[in-house]
């Protein structure tokens, strides 16, 4: 048998702390059928958006849960390497084979190093025109470190090329930017620009994550924390959503406040 346990799935004590979310217009099924509707909802002042805002505590809880889902190894489990292995052949090898660090530590080191480099004065020749300095990149919840103001100073590029336009904080999405040029023939490849692109160094791990959805897009979909259906009722204690009274009871018996 796999290791399985039956879970309690309901409780008779109904704790206070629940509220029905006033439905201010976000109905996922309607949004999908009539996409125009979502723009109106988002534009309406004091509309549904307030309901979707999370407290700092809720955000920490979500980040912890995601980190848990993304974990490769369980630090509580130690599995030793079986059998006898030959001794390390050099000092370097001995040190590296003994490391018990996790990826988190290496990524933290990388970010710390990058921010140190940024505080150091940047030589003039490399400060300008590098394609790799593609502007600040937004961080996802997966980054273990606060956002860095810009990428690491890259190796001096051979060609000075203006950084490609990066639309940020403007109402024009990147897709719109692509569309606006579609009618004309694309300009031929500029060899200098191409050379700069190809010689640009890699981004740091944290900087390589894609950005969050553009503001003004459809709001985040909310699901029942218990059964996965739409979450229309919000738990005042932890902010989770449930679909109805039955799942509300189950949520309280199991997961309420688990991640806080």
- Which residue, 204 or 226, is less far from Zn ion as judged by CB? 226
219 in Cβ contact with 42 (< 8 Å): yes
Query: Least distance from C-beta 66 to other proteins, angstroms?
Result: 6
State the DSSP code for 242: E
Query: 196 exposed, middle or buried (CB, 10 Å; 0-12, 13-18, 19+)?
Result: buried
- Which residue, 31 or 227, is less far from Zn ion as judged by CB? 227
139 in Cβ contact with 171 (< 8 Å): no
61 binds Zn ion (CB under 5 A): no
256 binds Zn ion (CB under 5 A): yes
| Phi, psi values for residue 100, rounded to 5° | -115, 25
Q: Which residues contact 192 (CB under 8 A, 6 or more apart)?
A: 159, 161
Enumerate residues 166-225 that contact Zn ion by CB under 5 A: 224
Query: Least distance from C-beta 24 to other proteins, angstroms?
Result: 19
Tokens of 33: 């059928």
Query: Least distance from C-beta 240 to other proteins, angstroms?
Result: 11
Place of tokens 């490391």: 99
Residue 237 binds which of Zn ion, other proteins, none (CB < 5-8 A, kind-dependent):
Zn ion
Q: How far is CA 168 from CA 163, 172, 212, 226, in A?
A: 14, 8, 11, 36
- Which residue, 56 or 70, is less far from other proteins as judged by CB? 70
- Which residue, 22 or 33, is less far from other proteins as judged by CB? 33
In the set 226, 233, 234, 241, which binds Zn ion (CB under 5 A)?
226
- Which residue, 130 or 222, is less far from Zn ion as judged by CB? 222
Q: Facing residues of 242 across strands? A: 233
Query: Least distance from C-beta 242 to Zn ion, angstroms?
Result: 5
Residue 48 binds which of other proteins, Zn ion, none (CB < 5-8 A, kind-dependent):
none
Q: How far apart are CA 159 and CA 49, in angstroms?
A: 45
227 binds Zn ion (CB under 5 A): yes
By three-state DSSP, how is residue 237 classified? Answer: coil
- Which residue, 93 or 125, is less far from other proteins as judged by CB? 93
Summarize as ranges the residues that interact with Zn ion (CB under 5 A): 224, 226-227, 229, 235, 237-238, 240, 243, 247, 256
């Amino acid at each position: 048998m796999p290791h399985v346990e039956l879970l309690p799935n309901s409780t008779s004590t109904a704790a206070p702390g629940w509220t029905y979310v006033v439905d201010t217009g976000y109905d996922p099924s309607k949004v999908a059928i009539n996409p125009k509707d979502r723009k109106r909802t988002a534009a309406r002042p004091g509309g549904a958006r307030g309901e979707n805002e999370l407290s700092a505590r809720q955000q920490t809880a979500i980040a912890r849960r995601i980190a848990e889902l993304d974990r490769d190894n369980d630090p509580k489990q130690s599995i030793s390497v079986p059998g006898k292995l030959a001794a390390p052949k050099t000092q370097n090898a001995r040190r590296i084979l003994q490391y018990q660090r996790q990826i988190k530590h290496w990524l933290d080191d990388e970010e710390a190093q990058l921010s140190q480099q940024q505080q150091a004065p940047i030589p003039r020749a490399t400060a300008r025109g590098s394609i790799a300095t593609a502007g600040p990149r937004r961080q996802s919840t997966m980054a273990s470190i606060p956002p860095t103001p810009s990428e690491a100073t890259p190796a001096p590029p051979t060609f000075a090329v203006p950084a490609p336009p990066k639309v940020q904080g403007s109402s024009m999405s990147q897709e719109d930017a692509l569309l606006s040029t579609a009618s004309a023939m694309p300009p031929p490849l500029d060899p200098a620009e191409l050379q700069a692109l190809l010689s640009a160094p890699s981004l740091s791990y944290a900087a390589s994550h894609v950005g969050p959805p553009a503001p003004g897009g459809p709001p985040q979909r909310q699901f029942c924390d218990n059964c996965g259906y739409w979450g229309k009722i919000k738990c005042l204690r932890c902010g989770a959503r449930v679909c109805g009274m039955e799942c509300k009871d189950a949520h309280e018996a199991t997961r309420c406040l688990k991640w806080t």
